[in-house]
Amino acid sequence: MTAAPSEPRLPDAAGDRTVVGANLSLPLFRALSGVLAGHPYLKVVVDRTEGTWHLLDTHVHPFHVDYIAIRVLGMTLEELDAELDAFNASVYMAPDRRFLLGVLSLHADEDADGRERPFLVLETTEADTMSGPLLEEFYRFVRGRVDGRLPLLLKPANHGQEHELAKVSEVHVPRILSHELFGNRTRTCLNPGEAEGRLRYFRTREEYQEAAAGLGWSDIVAMPCLPDDVPRVAGFVNTAPITPLSHTNVLASGWGIPNAIVRDLDALVRDKGLDGAWVRYRVREDEITLSRLAAEPSLERPVWHQQRIRLDAPWLEDAPVLALHRLRREDRDCYGTKAANLGELHHVLDSRTADLTVFHARPRPPRADLLAHLAARLGEPDADRERLRVAAAERVAATVRAPEGVALPFRLHHLFLTSSPALQQGIGKLKMALELEAFDVVDTLCLHLQQLVRSTPVPDDVARAVLQSVPGALDADSRLVVRSSSNAEDLPGFSAAGIYDSVTTVRGADQLLDAVRQVWGSLLSARSVRLRHEYGISLDDTYMGVIVQEYVPADLGGVLVTCNPTRREDFRNVYLNCSPGSPERVVDGTVLPHQYLYNTVEGGGRTVDVGSSGRDLDAATRTSLAGLALTGRLLQSHFSGDDVDGALDIEWLMTAEGTFRLVQIRPYAR
């Protein structure tokens, strides 16, 4: 609900209606409040020294620290900027602090007779480290000054506060957890944005499949859970819960289109006649609206229709099958981006020469950098850059491992394709259909080619190169995982998340060769061909490398992105999703995963959603995940290149022993 401590900027104070010392009634709350995430909220400051509290006019005082420093303590903005981190520590972390800072938000539920019943929720900012006694004192102070007819609940702002509150009786401090409060939220932002288009509402997968071929760039597609093969359109609307890290939302992020969960879409469609109507669709973190337009708008074709991506020429000569640990990032032209990144990860973990402090060393005005915060996260006594570089490298190497496996080069894919005249003829027909934009036959040609790829024998020299290089290839009891690694993915403006195949249950030589052909064939799926064609990516330049990894049993699997997907300006938080088993369950929408935000600056984490399981993970596992989140942030310093704020998308496994394996690392579409 609340944001972590933000950079203060004092707005014009004219007309300030801030109230000091008064009891809070519902009319006064409404007069002073703003709206965040769809709920009215009011910032409050308790002054323990003076024994009073301040109810801030939200429109005038967006930040607690501004008000305290400048209005109460008489500091200037320049003085505050100069010691911002120390000041934040004094109000959010000091056990003997003078001020208690929080937010009151207004919510409603239904009583036994179905009547709406308002109630208030009190919480601190996310980075606050209040102890149990201090939380109880804060609650009691506010409870004594709020209209007694309004129920008041305390919501712990992070896992540390949950632990502290466990020591306090719920009789003394009634409480509610974040997922209990927001788990049934009617509307949830997944990817911010705005679009005008025609709303196409499909209540079942069958309805969608019947109309999918006719969807165009000006449509806004709504359905319970969008399929991964949805074409590029103007916007997405989900009517059932889904994570921001699903494949479809990663596509929405990469495409820059709005996406949200709108559970009351049935009512909107019924009351306003929106199905098939032209609408304006706005998705913000604090507001999601669908409003009918008076007439069909005059829309220009989007810029991406003219966008053309040119690939670097793939290297097809004399590239051998290599163990992943022998690859580096520059090998992407032979083995694909995914394989090259995993090789680079091996290098980072083994050599420890990479500077993993770059993200924290970047200026964050008014701060010169975040190195002091990094020192605190790493348990270092000071912010000496060289010392932190060593500590960061050691922390990452101690937290995660890179997968063992081999990378098959583009050369093997090329040899396979050129071994079959039938494949060459089919590809020629597909290229001609694309040139003529004969899309009515493209899907049929693609389906035929995929079937042909799977039935065409692998040439003997290619089969030998694979089977002799993959450990366990001939062992029917050894399980392998086969993943895609194309040169036509993870490109600026074109992520291709989820459009190529992986095969996770491979045993023995025959299954291995079948899986390799399936991954090669996914480069010719109708969906991937159409998407690449929209960006001008030539079929001639597109090749598929393959990663063959050992299968590692996992108690937990997931995805983390080193950003907050719904608030891109938030440089503090890493968003992490997980569920029992493999990461694929998180991104394919088959389950609703556990969802967490971990603060990699001030520390701490909080549960966003407990997912399909209905219960949170244990405290020890959540602590381990916090360490994984920090590791992802540190790796961002190396893998994001010149754009240090360029987020990473990392797939990972946690074994029964509690160790983490990273199985994929790629840029996150922004």
Hey, what are 432's tokens? 């001609």
pLDDT at 279: 96
pLDDT at 1: 35
Q: Crossing angle, helix 508-522 and helix 410-418, to 10 degrees?
A: 90
Residue 202 lies in a domain: yes
User: Is 170 domain-assigned?
Assistant: yes
pLDDT the model gives residue 306: 59
Q: Are residues 524 and 651 in the same domain?
A: no
| Whether residues 463 and 575 fall in one domain | no
Tokens 């640990």 found at: 325
Among the listed residues 443, 440, 444, 446, the one whose alpha carbon sits nearest the alpha carbon of residue 423: 446
pTM of the predicted model over 0.85 = yes
Q: Are 144 and 276 members of one domain?
A: no
Q: Is residue 666 part of a domain?
A: yes
Low-confidence stretches of the chain (pLDDT beneath 50) = 1-12
Instruction: Centre a 10 Å sphere on the Cβ of residue 465 and count the other Cβ atoms it contains.
Output: 19
Return the CATH number at 349. Answer: 3.30.1490.20
| Of 175, 164, 60, 71, nearest in space to 123 by CA | 175
Predicted pLDDT of residue 35: 82
In a domain, 4, yes or no: no
Give the residue carrying structure tokens 């291709």.
Answer: 496
At residue 5, the pLDDT reads 39
Regarding whether 163 and 199 lie in a shared domain, the answer is no
- The radius of gyration of the chain from alpha carbons, rounded to an integer in Å, stands at 27
Last residue in a domain, options 494, 518, 551: 551
User: Is there a single domain that holds both residue 319 and residue 403?
Assistant: yes
- Residues 317 and 299 reside in one and the same domain: no
CATH of the domain at 651: 3.30.470.20
Count Cβ neighbours within 10 Å for each residue of 64-92 and write b for 16 or more, e otherwise.
Answer: bbbbbbbbeeebeeeebbeebeebbbbbb
370 and 485 housed in the same domain: yes
Q: How many Cβ atoms sit within 10 Å of the Cβ of residue 547?
A: 25
Neighbours of 146 (CB within 10 A): 20
Q: What is the CATH number of the domain that holds 211?
A: 3.50.30.10
The answer to the question of residue 182 being in a domain is no
How many domains are contained in the chain? Answer: 4
Q: Is residue 204 a part of any domain in this protein?
A: yes
Instruction: Map tokens 């004094």 to a residue.
Output: 90
Residues 403, 335 share a domain: yes
The DSSP annotation for 526-546 comes to: HHHHHHHHHTT--GGG--EEE
- Domain final residue, candidates 261, 276, 304: 304
Same domain, 557 and 592: yes
Residue 249 lies in a domain: yes
Last residue of a domain, one of 154, 176, 198: 176
- Cβ proximity of 125 and 3 under 8 Å: yes
pLDDT at 307: 67
Please indicate, yes or no, whether residues 417 and 465 belong to a single structural domain of this protein. yes
Structural domain span for residue 511: 307-551
Region class of 51: left (phi > 0), else alpha (psi between -120 and 50), else beta? left
Whether residues 344 and 434 fall in one domain: yes
- Asked whether residue 219 falls in the same domain as residue 314, the answer is no
The per-residue pLDDT for 10 is 38
Under DSSP, is residue 19 helix (H, G, I), strand (E, B) or coil?
A: strand
Contact between residue 498 and residue 486 where contact means Cβ atoms under 8 Å apart: no
Q: Which two three-digit tokens encode residue 462?
A: 């290619």
